[in-house]
């Protein structure tokens, strides 16, 4: 008898069997028991039905989700395929031109939804009016009426290193309440330029802009002309108290002569007043002499003929930089030996034995002209792009050739100016560097391939002027991609996509300067390369005075 039948039929009374079945049966319970049994069966049926329904629903949902997942994967895969179909074709397909091919699935060459073949090459996505210069003096920032003495300054290095150093010395004069004598310039560097401060800078403008901050004089007064100055080489990245502690020496000796100016003041941890003073000195007071400014503006106008945009490319593939860094990639063995001999011949260059391969793969070498061409091409700049070369003589037997083969419209101060215009600048490399600086700051896009003093000064100035578009390769990853491309491991279209993805955010957009903390002054971001915060304010910030930072745990890998 089945379980179901047992439940439906009335059950025998246990007492009947116990008495042998001879007793008279008790009245039947059939009418009382049957409704309860039926209710139990109904409940069990409903539970079983719900369980089956739930199981079937789960199977259906799982099947649908799996199918949708496959569809999503196909969509993502198709989008990536579409991206590679709509980006730049290979060298062989384009005969060296950076052309855009049509999507084979769309004969009209339209982009798939959400896919951009080439990003906006010339503009920066900055909200108008959000960021502004904030370098005005407060009412409390007044010049002290009594000077503690005079400081003489010898600015060492090339033009841009000297500009950075002079700006720091203006701040030092303020910290020491000292009178600054017009700085002397380095004439013994690699460029051996004999130009003095008045030859390079508009010295009257320099004094006028800073007249409410510090006292500046052309030379020592006659009564102190015979005084022997106390010579000091300031410690690199010194804090304000280091200079304030020198004040008793200054009062006693009347004159202190600082023999070096490069990186002699910390980037961060200074008062708002001092940081803004540094910017006033660097970006406003240190204006170039009139003849330099006028020719620089002519260069910009000539490059923008018919309102065309141009790139200023800082290609630091020059003999002195290659010798200093120990980089010999793409050079002959004879050229590498020449650079090594030069490095050993300069006593104050500390590193002598350098592994060029390791240095390059750590990102410590300037890009070669060919690598620079690959970078620009991968970003999407067409061969017709106008490029101003911010550099001196390119080193190596190939010279500028590999870049010019891809981008024939190359310019520099020699082919933009007439012989008469350039005659006053010949044999004055600092004056020529000043022309390059003007053209670079005013360019539509500034691209630097090595983060030296020129790059720091220009990109910081461009941020100060409104975060103008500035690009640079992240070299450790970029050179690896180039090597894989050259070895045939990475096809051109994949190389292109990876380069664009790697550098999507490296356009000079606003980003707060990050301090390096103790023991990391050399690796931290330069104040002059990013004067935000300090000299640039955000209208959306809680307070425009953002000067207090906690040292970051690790910012060495920030790519921006």
Residue 446: name the closest of 421, 430, 433, 463 by CA: 463
pLDDT value of position 499:
95
Neighbours of 434 (CB within 10 A): 26
CA angle 188, 193, 195 (to 5 degrees): 115
- For the cut 80, the answer to whether the pLDDT of residue 229 exceeds it is yes
Sign of CA dihedral 501, 394, 282, 122: negative
The neighbouring-strand residues paired with 231 are 257
- 112 located within any domain: no
- For the cut 50, the answer to whether the pLDDT of residue 91 exceeds it is no
Residues 129, 11: Cα–Cα separation, whole Å: 92
Residue 369: name the closest of 399, 397, 390 by CA: 399
pLDDT value of position 191:
62
Residues 408, 385: Cα–Cα separation, whole Å: 8
- 151-210 pLDDT, tens digit per residue, is 999 998 889 999 999 999 999 999 999 999 999 998 776 667 889 999 999 999 999 999
Q: Is the separation of the CB atoms in 548 and 512 below 8 Å?
A: no
Of 284, 305, 323, which marks where a domain is finished? 284
Q: Per-residue b/e over 244-283, b at no fewer than 16 CB within 10 Å? A: eebbeebeebbbbbbebbbbbbbbbebebebbbbbbbbbb
pLDDT value of position 166:
97
pLDDT interval class at 302 (50, 70, 90) = very high
Of 284, 306, 334, which marks where a domain is finished? 284
Is there a single domain that holds both residue 279 and residue 334? no
- For the cut 70, the answer to whether the pLDDT of residue 478 exceeds it is yes
Is there a single domain that holds both residue 230 and residue 361? no
pLDDT interval class at 549 (50, 70, 90) = very low
Token pair for 76: 């993502």
How many domains does the structure of the chain reveal? Answer: 2
Q: Is the separation of the CB atoms in 386 and 308 below 8 Å?
A: yes
Residue 429: name the closest of 154, 199, 163, 159 by CA: 159
* DSSP symbols for 246-297: THHHHHHHSEEEES--TT-S-SSS--HHHHHHHHIIIIII-PBPHHHHHHHH
- Which positions ≥6 away from 418 have C-beta within 8 Å? none
- For the cut 50, the answer to whether the pLDDT of residue 477 exceeds it is yes
Token pair for 413: 């101060």
**What does each C-alpha distance from 280 to 99, 207, 461, 467 come to in angstroms?**
45, 12, 11, 17
Residues 522, 526: Cα–Cα separation, whole Å: 9
pLDDT interval class at 53 (50, 70, 90) = low
State if pTM tops 0.95.
no
Token pair for 501: 């993805």
Is there a single domain that holds both residue 371 and residue 449? yes
- 80 located within any domain: no
Is there a single domain that holds both residue 456 and residue 348? yes
Torsion of CA 134, 140, 141, 147, to 10 degrees: 180
- 441 located within any domain: yes
Is there a single domain that holds both residue 216 and residue 244? yes
Q: Is the separation of the CB atoms in 303 and 386 below 8 Å?
A: yes
- Percent with pLDDT over 90 in the chain: 55
Residue 470: name the closest of 512, 526, 499, 508 by CA: 508
- Percent with pLDDT over 70 in the chain: 74
- For the cut 60, the answer to whether the pLDDT of residue 113 exceeds it is no
Q: Furthest-apart CA pair in the chain: how many Å?
A: 149
- For the cut 50, the answer to whether the pLDDT of residue 22 exceeds it is no
Token pair for 61: 């949902």
CA angle 191, 454, 545 (to 5 degrees): 140
pLDDT value of position 518:
55
Is there a single domain that holds both residue 395 and residue 472? yes
Residue spans of beta strands (DSSP E) within 61-218: 131-133, 150-155, 179-181, 184-185, 216-217
Is there a single domain that holds both residue 408 and residue 279? no
Is there a single domain that holds both residue 468 and residue 495? yes
Between 30-86 and 492-502, two packed helices, what is the crossing angle to 10 degrees? 110
- 327-336 pLDDT, tens digit per residue, is 998 899 999 9
Is there a single domain that holds both residue 267 and residue 246? yes
Mean pLDDT of 8-22: 37
Is there a single domain that holds both residue 295 and residue 421? yes
- 301 located within any domain: yes
Is there a single domain that holds both residue 313 and residue 270? no
- For the cut 80, the answer to whether the pLDDT of residue 269 exceeds it is yes
Range of the domain at 395: 290-538
Token pair for 144: 């002290």
Tally of helices (H runs) and strands (E runs) in the chain: 22, 13
- 416 located within any domain: yes
- 120-144 pLDDT, tens digit per residue, is 889 888 888 899 999 999 888 878 7
Mean pLDDT over the full length of the chain: 79
CA angle 397, 401, 403 (to 5 degrees): 130
pLDDT value of position 520:
62
- 487 located within any domain: yes
- For the cut 80, the answer to whether the pLDDT of residue 219 exceeds it is yes
- 377-412 pLDDT, tens digit per residue, is 999 999 999 999 998 889 888 899 999 999 999 999
- 275 located within any domain: yes
- 406 located within any domain: yes
Q: Is the separation of the CB atoms in 238 and 260 below 8 Å?
A: no
- 405-440 pLDDT, tens digit per residue, is 999 999 999 999 999 999 999 889 999 999 999 999
Mean pLDDT of 507-534: 84
Is there a single domain that holds both residue 246 and residue 365? no
Mean pLDDT is lowest, of 69-78, 150-159, 288-297, for 69-78
Of 227, 252, 284, which marks where a domain is finished? 284
């Amino acid at each position: 008898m089945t379980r179901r039948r047992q439940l439906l039929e009335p059950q025998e009374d246990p007492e009947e069997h116990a008495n042998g079945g001879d007793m008279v049966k008790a009245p039947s319970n059939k009418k009382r028991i049957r409704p309860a049994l039926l209710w139990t069966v109904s409940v069990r049926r409903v539970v079983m039905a719900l369980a089956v329904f739930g199981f079937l629903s789960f199977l259906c949902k799982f099947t649908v989700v799996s199918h949708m997942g496959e569809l999503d994967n196909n969509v993502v895969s198709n989008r990536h395929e579409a991206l590679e179909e709509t980006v730049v074709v290979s060298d062989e397909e384009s005969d060296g031109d950076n052309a855009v091919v049509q999507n084979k699935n769309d004969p009209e060459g339209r982009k798939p939804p959400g896919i951009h073949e080439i990003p906006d090459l010339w503009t920066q996505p900055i909200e108008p009016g959000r960021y502004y210069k904030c370098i005005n003096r407060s009412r409390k920032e007044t010049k002290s009426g009594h000077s503690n003495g005079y400081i003489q300054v010898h600015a060492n290095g090339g033009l841009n290193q000297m500009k950075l150093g002079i700006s720091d010395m203006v701040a030092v004069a303020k910290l020491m309440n000292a009178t600054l004598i017009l700085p002397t310039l380095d004439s013994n560097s690699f460029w051996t330029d004999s130009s003095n401060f008045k030859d390079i800078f508009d010295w009257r403008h320099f004094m006028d802009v800073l007249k409410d901050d510090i006292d500046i004089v052309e030379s020592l007064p006659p009564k102190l002309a015979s005084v022997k100055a106390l010579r000091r080489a300031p410690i690199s990245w010194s804090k304000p108290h280091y200079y304030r502690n020198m004040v008793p020496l200054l009062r006693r000796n009347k004159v202190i002569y600082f023999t070096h100016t490069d990186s002699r003041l910390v980037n961060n941890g200074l008062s708002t007043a001092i940081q803004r003073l540094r910017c006033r000195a660097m970006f406003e007071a240190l204006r170039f002499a009139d003849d330099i400014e006028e020719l620089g503006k002519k260069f910009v106008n000539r490059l923008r003929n018919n309102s065309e945009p141009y790139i200023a490319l800082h290609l630091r593939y020059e003999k002195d930089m290659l010798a200093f860094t120990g980089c010999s990639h793409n050079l002959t063995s004879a050229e590498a030996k020449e650079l090594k001999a030069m490095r050993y011949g300069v006593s104050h260059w500390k590193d002598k034995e350098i592994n060029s391969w390791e240095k390059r793969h750590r990102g410590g070498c300037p890009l070669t002209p060919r690598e620079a061409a690959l970078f620009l091409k991968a970003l999407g700049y067409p061969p017709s792009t106008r490029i101003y070369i911010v550099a001196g003589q390119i080193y190596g037997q190939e010279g500028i050739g590999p870049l010019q083969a891809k981008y024939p419209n190359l310019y520099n101060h020699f082919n933009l100016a007439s012989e008469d215009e350039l005659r006053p600048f010949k044999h004055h490399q600092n004056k020529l560097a000043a022309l390059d600086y003007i053209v670079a700051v005013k360019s539509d896009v500034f691209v630097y391939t090595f983060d030296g003093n020129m790059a720091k000064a220009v990109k910081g100035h461009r941020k100060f002027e409104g975060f103008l578009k500035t690009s640079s390769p992240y070299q450790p990853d970029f050179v690896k991609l180039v090597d894989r491309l050259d070895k045939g491991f990475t096809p051109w279209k994949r190389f292109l996509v990876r380069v664009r993805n790697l550098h999507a955010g490296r356009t000079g957009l606003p980003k707060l300067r990050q301090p390096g903390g103790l023991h990391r002054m050399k690796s931290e971001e330069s104040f002059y390369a990013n004067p935000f915060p300090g000299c640039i304010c955000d209208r959306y910030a809680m307070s425009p005075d953002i000067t207090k930072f906690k040292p970051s745990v690790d910012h060495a890998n920030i790519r921006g």
